[in-house]
Chain A
Amino acid sequence: MPRHGGDKYRAFAAAEEPLMRHVLSALVQNVPGVLAQISGMLASRGFNIESLAVGETEDPKLSRMTFVVRGDDRVLDQVGKQLEKVVTVVKVIDISAQDFVERDLMLIKVAAKLGSRGEIRELTDIFRGRIVDVGANEVMIEISGQERKINSFIELIRPFGIVELVRTGRIAMVRSTGRLRDDKDGGDENEPPAMRKS
């Protein structure tokens, strides 16, 4: 089992069978130390967390943590059970087994020399992003959506020069049952039509 560290993890993943990506949602008590408790447990047992987002919920006594974990069924089973065992964890669900909506928010600062701003703006529009700050030589863009949309945007904007980038980590919520939809893949209504990479 790899420890934290992206490169090591990717090497591991490449050598082994492709590992399933899971989104776990944990409801935890909003008490001091709960984040340390959970991240410490995950680290000490060698689980690799790709993303972790935490925030308050509608109930001020509870927080919601959303994890993205890659692993086979056995790893996932253990992560879930070990999380359940933490006293401050109220409930854990593997929401990737259900129909869910997933979002990631990114702020990205891009070098924008004279002449390239138009193109950056066009790209931002296509991805339903917003330019939230403009400086002399750079612009800050806010963009949210599914992980792959964000990743596509990053790749497309990279040639302009990424100055700084920050992401919230994935948050997710299970859809209401019985709702009629047509975007089958848990899709992103904001997804632009032309984002497929060749």
Chain B
Amino acid sequence: MPEIVTGADVVVQSIINHGVDIIFAYPGGASMPLHQALTRYKDRLRTVLPRHEQGGGFAAQGFARSTGKPGVCMATSGPGATNLVTAVADAKMDSVPLVAITGQVKTKVIGTDAFQETPIVEVCRGITKHSYLVTRVDNLARVMREAFHIATTGRPGPVLVDVPKDVQEAKVAPDYNVPMDLPGYRVATLRAKPEQLAQVAAAIKLARRPVIYAGGGVITSGGSRELCEFVRKTGIPITMTVMGLGGFPAYDPLCLQMLGMHGTVYANYAVDECDLLLALGVRFDDRVTGKLAEFAKGAKIVHIDVDASEINKNKPAHFPIVSDVRYALAELNKIVQPPADISDWIKKIERWRQADPMHYDEDYPGILPQHAISELSRLTKDRETIVTVGVGQHQMWTAQFFKFQRPRTFLSSSGLGTMGFGLPAAMGAQAANPGKLVIDIDGDGSFLMNVQELASCYCEKLPVKVMLLNNQHLGMVVQWEDRFHQGNRAHTYLGPIDHPEAVGKGNGVGNQERYPDFVTIAKGFGCGSGLVREKGDLIDALGEMIAYDGPYLLDVEVPYQEHVLPMIPSGMTVKDLIKG
């Protein structure tokens, strides 16, 4: 006979039952019973208190993205719940397993516009994989079981569980092994058929100019090792999406780095000229393809993805295969043979690489963001390092210049593109990986959006490092202003409005009076901090940051005039590529 417990206990015990040992939770009126329950299980489940629910949501993502386990965040009803919305939408776009638990007003007053009431299930309908409003405590154990199952299987995604306060308080004898009631949710069949894979193997054998285009699905499925074996067996060059970075080691000679809008010239040329495109765990996103009709125009396309609705959604596939990518690669590795002869193709790609390597002005007297990232990558090469980013130029430069060697080491809000992702994601990743070096490479615009999480990092003893590429501007928007709006500054300068930079005037790296004073801000939160302006001081400053015992912010003064290149303007083709 199971013990009689409260609904809140059922929620907490379910989280523990699913192998999760950290939850990011911000309390409020409608979630107090849940928090009271959390204290009863604190030896098995650590509760990290973020300083904003959105920070908690992204921290849970950092936990999930760095470990592959489901991330769990919790908030109260109303504003607590709506503050989670961005993190939930973000998890949907990037297929991150996330279970978001919200308190709700008592069932009796639902629908009466009660204090702190929002219909959060309605709000989140289109941005969750599934969502529940639990109105009976008897259903709670089953719903929690289903929530974790749905979040983590097939194409992972966020699941919302909204629990009214009276359901949290109600007594129940839970059965955690209660059967799930999901007649419409099938994941067991998502495996490539042998005949499909035999066809792919045959196409590979015949290919003369094959390229692998690998995405987040490789990492999500845990298929990086299988991918490496596949590349080793076939000798086919590989390029990755932002979500795919780390899925294949960047130092490998067959790695063409990233493709797409800000991908390498040689990766984009290779995809343009290939005759066989092996698209693995990708969704043909517009930032990758540019103009769809011209993308890999002459190629036969093999598209393997776990989500059937991605196949033929944007680009018709000649070999459409609905399958877990890892499974498909593992099976393919058993039968695949290398293409007859692709040495000319490899040579051609090498010529492209020699002609247009990734580069920046190494003679620039100050610190260029690309330089800072390259140096950080070099300094941390032999350590287990997880990098998070915000959104914008610094994100793309990190994708371009940081050499990722292992899966789940680059955490980026790639699909939704949420500024402010970096710090809370780093916080979650650090909590999940206490022994690893976790660095948020951020921009000053993005960083400020969730700066409050410095408090969580300090108070929860999470020694996150922040390398702040501070150019006093919203760099990516500035870049587009420069390219497409004659450099007219439209609210993209982040300093006081009476500075000349606010209207696109001024010169050099920017106003000497930097705003805000991030070094002091970090100190105010109790974190270590430093400022670096001179190129010659960079290495030492980075060393100090890495060695610091506790959270640390390094404010790196960088010019705002740099553009992320190469660039294929939105909706255009490889012929329109700006090399720079």
Contact = CB atoms under 8 A, between A and B. Distances in A.
Interface string B291-333: 0000000000000000111001100000000000000000000
B449 interface: no
A78 B125 contact: no
Given A32-B133, A62-B183, 11 more contacts: A29-B181, A33-B125, A40-B126, A44-B126, A77-B312, A78-B309, A81-B309, A85-B308, A87-B150, A90-B183, A91-B184
B307 A85 contact: yes
A29 B442 CA distance: 45
24 contacts: A28-B184, A29-B181, A29-B183, A36-B125, A40-B126, A41-B126, A62-B183, A77-B312, A78-B313, A81-B308, A81-B309, A84-B308, A84-B309, A85-B307, A85-B308, A87-B129, A87-B130, A87-B182, A87-B185, A88-B130, A88-B184, A89-B184, A90-B183, A91-B184
A87 B184 contact: yes
B125 A37 contact: yes
Contact of B309 (A32, A85, A87, A90): A85
Contacts of A184: none
Nearest to A84: B308
A190 interface: no
Contacts of A33: 121, 125, 133
A151 interface: no
Nearest to B322: A81
A28 B185 CA distance: 11
B341 to A, nearest CB: 37
Interface string A26-66: 00110011001100110010000000000000000010000
A188 B130 CA distance: 40
Interface in B101-154: 121-122, 125-126, 129-130, 133, 150
Nearest to A34: B184
Interface residues of B, number: 18
A175 B219 CA distance: 46
A132 interface: no
B150 to A, nearest CB: 6
Interface in A153-197: none
A76 to B, nearest CB: 11
Nearest 10 CB-CB pairs, A to B? A81-B309, A90-B184, A87-B130, A44-B126, A90-B183, A89-B184, A87-B185, A40-B125, A81-B308, A82-B309
A74 interface: yes
A116 to B, nearest CB: 47
A56 B63 CA distance: 42
A75 to B, nearest CB: 11
Contacts of A91: 184
A88 to B, nearest CB: 6
A85 B154 CA distance: 10
A123 interface: no
A86 interface: yes
A40 B313 CA distance: 19
Interface string A94-125: 00000000000000000000000000000000
Nearest to B146: A87
Nearest to A36: B125
A189 to B, nearest CB: 34
Nearest to B313: A78
A89 B130 CA distance: 11
> Which of A32, A37, A41 has the most C-beta atoms of chain B within 10 angstroms of its own C-beta?
A37
A28 B150 CA distance: 17
A78 B307 CA distance: 12
Nearest to B309: A81
Contacts of B181: 29
A69 B354 CA distance: 52
Interface string B27-41: 000000000000000
A4 to B, nearest CB: 15
A57 to B, nearest CB: 12
Contacts of B313: 78
A90 B185 CA distance: 7
A37 B127 CA distance: 11
Contacts of A77: 312
B125 A86 contact: no
- Among the interface residues B121, B130, B309, which one has the most CB atoms of the partner chain A within 10 A? B309
Contacts of A41: 126
Contacts of B126: 40-41, 44
A87 B307 CA distance: 13
A50 to B, nearest CB: 22
A86 B184 contact: yes
Contacts of A88: 130, 184
Contacts of A44: 126
Nearest to B126: A44
A37 B129 CA distance: 11
Contacts of A87: 129-130, 150, 182, 184-185
